[in-house]
Structure 1
């Protein structure tokens, strides 16, 4: 019973959902849009690009003939040290990423300009394996993130 209570407490803390308004959303990210997200969309709405988790885009702008001319369009430095384990999401031209310290950052996907930033204050002082965050989730006008 005590272990179950501790487990629920830990899970509750880890799954504390962070509800941040996304404001820049052109269309609501709902079940239908999430389900169809890997079908030729320029958005990247889920980890792995779709529920099939293929991490593949069937867009044709990058191919064997164009790859030699590619160069970084922009870079962004979060200022947070640690291992990034999540996949950024892109919805309607806004990139959402999380940092190992449970911060969420919204960037203009075309320019890399910061739109907004949320800095979560971690309650845990000691972490078994270092700081880590597996990335945000998006839906229904909100960004969700598990925190510790």
Structure 2
């Protein structure tokens, strides 16, 4: 199942990194994380959803160029090292910053390791300063 489809019974029923949100008629509630809409009519239906919190970093070895790094996995060098529409978040020891969007955990201090991440919006914004009127 894709996100916000059901009825799933376990995480393996959902595609990719989606999880199965288990609800029950015994009071777990109708809300499905990240889903809009009223799911209260049938509390026995469980739905696939995207985890909202950060994922733990995972470092793998020798997967470069295979497109097999998943979300928060690395060490990637290019977007093509990552699965599907994931991108390779390039970090550096020269001050680019340790954080990777949507990831948390162990390899944060190792700035030489780059990780695959999910772009949060349709566009990454880049700001250039002092280029007014130059066409650049």
Relative to the length of structure 1, the TM-score reads 0.22
* More RCO (CA 8 Å, sep 6+): 1
The TM-score, its normalising length taken from structure 2, stands at 0.23
Structure with greater strand share of residues: 1
Structure 1 or 2: more helix by fraction: 1
